[in-house]
Structure 1
Amino acid sequence: MDPHKVERSKGRYEKVKHLGEGQFANVYLAKDTINNDLVAIKKIKLGSVTEVRDGVNRTALREIKLLQEIKHDNIICLRDVIGHKKNIQLVMDFMETDIEKVIQEKKIILMLPHIKNIVLQVLLGLEYLHSNWILHRDLKPNNLLINSNGRVKITDFGLARYYGSPNKQYTCQVITIWYRPPELFYGASNYSGSIDIWSVGCIIAELLLRTPIFPGKSDLDQLSKIFHILGTPKLEDWPLMTELPGYCEAKPEPGIELNQVFTAASNDLLELIKGTFVFNPLKRFTATQCLESNYFKSEPYACSDNEIPLPEKAHENPLMKVSKQRRKNNISDDGTVRRRLEFN
């Protein structure tokens, strides 16, 4: 990393407020003092000695490497990387909210054109990733950010990997359980972009139902919930199923007709959902097949980005909100009271 660039970057970003804390990082809202853009800064927490290489968490290194090599309108942009001997900070686009909050906001009415737009943006980003041989491996509503203009961006590449080598083995312990495909529960270690497509199917279902479709409490419970709705997979449809190391025979379930589950969905949308929920990963739709499906060619068409309804807070100017709070607390708004982001 260029030490001169690091020194320049240190004073560039003006901390506005703390946005949240995860298992491995703190996230801050900041202002880029050069172009006045709002940015999100992800401050990576270092793990144990065995998890750290050259002072940086391996997961963070993978995320940085991937994000530096990809560029797409529907994928979060890594604007800057600021290193220090004790931490590393990723400067990214600031996005006002995420799809999980949109789904959970009871005041929001999601119409079919809104859902079609969101699904379209997610699939465009995912098609780009898969065309560059990248698996995301953790697609879910709160990893789909959306800004005040309705632009959706895939984020959180901590579990992402390059794929394509026929003999490459991967861990099956990826993807949040509610969005994980059956083959991973059965211990599959050689897989492709089809695992992300299953997650997309779960996201589409959640947009329609406004609640997760398969909210399992354990691995076995998750499979039980999947089979209850989709039916038990048949050997003639998925012949390699029994060869997976964790395969166990399940109680036969007939499943439920999807038009009974998604009562507002058109036939074209039902066909798309079915294509994402094919048990055999080799027959599951690809991102390109999803985008070429009749669903995106039929009415009602996708709305424009800025027509997607968002939670009220997503339309608030965070700088104005902070400024009002400062005045309420009798704190000056001039530069003397603003704190630069500390890089130590």
Structure 2
Amino acid sequence: MNNLDKFIKLGTAGEGTYGIVYKAKNKVTGKSVALKRIKLEKFCKEDHTEGVPSTAIREISILKGLRHSSIIELQDVMYTSDRLYLVFEYLELDLKRYLDGTSKPVDKELIRSYIKQLCEGLAYLHTHRILHRDIKPQNLLVDKEGHVKIADFGLSRCFSLPTKSYTHEVVTMWYRAPELLLGSKMYTNGIDIWSLGCVMAEMFNKRAMFPGDSEIDQMFKIFKILGTPTEENWPGVTTLPQYEVSFPKWKATELKTHINFNDSEEEEFLKLMLVYDPFVRNTAKALLGTGYLKKAKLTAPDMKPFPDTTEEYC
């Protein structure tokens, strides 16, 4: 029996750019796993290269060295003649599907617990000089016990100090930090913190806070709420490649007029993440020291609407 024969495929759990994710069961342990299948021949044909997609290589190399309760665990890597399988621990669904599938507002203590776990995970990544670069609800997995884990490290990369020049074409647009939208190629862990702030706002509203349909629309949706950035609140912003002096001059508005907060403490905490100047934006470690997160406890959500999210496999 080869390694792949140890698993029984139970259904499809999702589909990504380079392959399908299956829910499977380990015949030996009886535990559920997520099998991410990547077709190598398709990749080779389309990209005229040989080997494994760069996103898969990056994900494997990064996750092999990580062990944290808030980061998805890569348990094994298996090859066949034309496919690569990544074996992950299994969680019921992603945060996006959870938010879309619940009719009631998300419990305030669950939001607090999720954000604390995610800050712990990001603090661990950033301490190891790893940027995730694609924090969004679809890449955050949750289970029935109240855990949330960071997944999909295909766009992640290691960073060094002093910072180097990186591509700004990262992070799904709705969660992309303003320095990226304005074309900065010099950035560090602040881009993950901005994305987490957008995720937190989405947990309150059950919809994306800045749903732009283009880069300029994305910037303007941010500016209309937080105000058009200036040299006063973001030194150096006018020198960024995509900044235009002709930008409309919007004034900042109160976040509570756009977000369904439960109390002022939540609003004050979110403001620490949605800060224009990346050098002022709080780090994950600093956020963990706030009173808001110190009160967090692991809270199990009501997952009754999701007894099984996988589709029948055939």
TM-score, structure 1 as length reference: 0.84
How far residue 39 of structure 1 moved from its aligned partner, in angstroms, is 0.5
Q: What residue identity is the alignment partner of 1:264?
A: F
Q: How far apart are the structure 2 equivalents of 1:203 and 1:276?
A: 11
Map 1:212-291; keep pairs closer than 5 Å. Answer: 212-249=208-245, 250-291=247-288
Q: Are 1:22 and 2:16 matched, yes or no? A: yes
**CA gap 1:189/1:59 in 2 versus in 1, 3 angstroms:** same
**What percentage of aligned pairs have identical amino acids?**
37
**CA gap 1:316/1:29 in 2 versus in 1, 3 angstroms:** closer
- Name which of 57, 60, 64 aligns with 1:61: 57
Q: How far apart are the structure 2 equivalents of 1:108 and 1:94?
A: 25
| 1:153-179, Cα deviation, whole Å (9 max, x unpaired) | 100000000012425221100000000
Q: What residue identity is the alignment partner of 2:17?
A: Q
Checking the alignment, whether the CA contact within 8 Å between 1:119 and 1:204 is kept in structure 2 is yes
Q: How far apart are the structure 2 equivalents of 1:217 and 1:126?
A: 28
Map 1:160-175; keep pairs closer than 5 Å. Answer: 160-166=156-162, 168-175=164-171
Q: What residue identity is the alignment partner of 2:160?
A: G
- Name which of 201, 204, 210 aligns with 1:208: 204
Checking the alignment, whether the CA contact within 8 Å between 1:51 and 1:57 is kept in structure 2 is no
Q: What residue identity is the alignment partner of 1:201?
A: G
Q: How far apart are the structure 1 equivalents of 2:45 and 2:97?
A: 36
Unaligned runs of 5+ in 1: 1-6, 326-338, 340-344
- Name which of 163, 177, 180 aligns with 1:181: 177
Checking the alignment, whether the CA contact within 8 Å between 2:105 and 2:206 is kept in structure 1 is no
Unaligned runs of 5+ in 2: none
Map 1:148-163; keep pairs closer than 5 Å. Answer: 148-163=144-159
TM-score, structure 2 as length reference: 0.92
Partner of 1:39: 33
Q: What residue identity is the alignment partner of 1:148?
A: K
Q: Are 1:309 and 2:302 matched, yes or no? A: yes
How far residue 185 of structure 1 moved from its aligned partner, in angstroms, is 1.1
Q: What residue identity is the alignment partner of 1:130?
A: H
Q: What residue identity is the alignment partner of 1:62?
A: R
Partner of 1:334: none
RMSD over aligned Cα, in angstroms?
A: 2.2
Partner of 1:331: none
Q: How far apart are the structure 2 equivalents of 1:311 and 1:203?
A: 23
Checking the alignment, whether the CA contact within 8 Å between 1:108 and 1:309 is kept in structure 2 is no
Q: How far apart are the structure 2 equivalents of 1:268 and 1:241?
A: 29
Q: How far apart are the structure 2 equivalents of 1:12 and 1:88?
A: 15
**CA gap 1:106/1:39 in 2 versus in 1, 3 angstroms:** closer
Partner of 1:336: none
Checking the alignment, whether the CA contact within 8 Å between 1:144 and 1:153 is kept in structure 2 is yes
Q: What residue identity is the alignment partner of 1:11?
A: D
Partner of 1:133: 129
SS of residue in 1 equivalent to 2:242? coil
**CA gap 1:200/1:76 in 2 versus in 1, 3 angstroms:** same
Checking the alignment, whether the CA contact within 8 Å between 1:108 and 1:311 is kept in structure 2 is no
Q: What residue identity is the alignment partner of 1:262?
A: I
How far residue 57 of structure 1 moved from its aligned partner, in angstroms, is 1.1
Q: How far apart are the structure 2 equivalents of 1:251 and 1:35?
A: 60
